[in-house]
A = this chain, B = another copy of it.
Amino acid sequence: MVTQSEENYLKTIYHLGKQGVEAVSTNAIAEQMETKASSVTDMVKKLAEKDLANYVKYQGVSLTKVGRLTAASVIRKHRLWEVFLVNKLKFSWDEVHEVAEQLEHIKSEQLIDKLDEFLDFPKVDPHGDAIPDKEGNFAKISKKLLSECASGEEGIFVGVKDSSASFLQYLDKQHISLGDKIKILHREEFDQSVEIMVNSSLLNISQKTATNIYLQQK
């Protein structure tokens, strides 16, 4: 049995080391998890003991195949729950993280399968990050900041970069919501503002807004 704490370590190592393939330093993990390096050393030994991680003293940690799969499964759960919280329970994007952080540790294959189905097999979470499938494979999502799109390009609004309450409220007021198709019509040289088409209405957004919106293209 993989404990909750072990799952959290696996997740962190996965994120820090390119899907857990690259070796990650003890200190990096400690900093990320806001814990002490000595605690990390202890845990990392345990993960190696359980064949979830490869660990050589003074040389950092990477994940084994099983470790990577376990980490991906936790990430899958986290992101599916985030979709549930936002799409079904109407949480706003900035409120979901800590709750999903708890829900990701619920142990039940069946629960996640049924949740996945209930949500209609989403491929991205509310922040625009890919949701891995049961085998731990991530769909290649080509998401790009709106500010990086040329005029003429279009894409689906799949996430925000910085999800402050005020920004989300602004989006709400402009009737821009997740899943909307956005087309870039014109980029204004002088102030980097962008004219876009959303829900068949024209809108002008500031550069700041444009650097906060992720579009998914095909």
A99 touches B108 (CB 8 A): yes
Does A106 reach chain B (CB closer than 8 Å)?
yes
Alpha-carbon distance between A89 and B114 when the two chains are bound, in angstroms: 6
The A contact surface, by secondary structure, is helix
B99 touches A106 (CB 8 A): yes
Does A115 reach chain B (CB closer than 8 Å)?
yes
Residues of B near A107 (CB, < 8 A) are: 102
Residues of B near A111 (CB, < 8 A) are: 85, 89, 99
State the number of copies, please.
Answer: 2
Q: Which of B85, B91, B108, B110 is A102 in contact with, Cβ under 8 Å?
A: B108
Minimum CB–CB distance from A86 to chain B (whole Å) comes to 11
Q: Which of B89, B90, B102 is A106 in contact with, Cβ under 8 Å?
A: B102
Alpha-carbon distance between A99 and B106 when the two chains are bound, in angstroms: 8
Does A103 reach chain B (CB closer than 8 Å)?
yes
Does A88 reach chain B (CB closer than 8 Å)?
yes
Given A91-B110, A99-B108, A102-B106, 17 other A-B contacts at CB below 8 A?
A85-B111, A88-B118, A89-B111, A89-B114, A89-B115, A89-B118, A90-B114, A91-B114, A95-B110, A98-B108, A99-B106, A99-B110, A99-B111, A102-B107, A102-B108, A103-B103, A103-B106
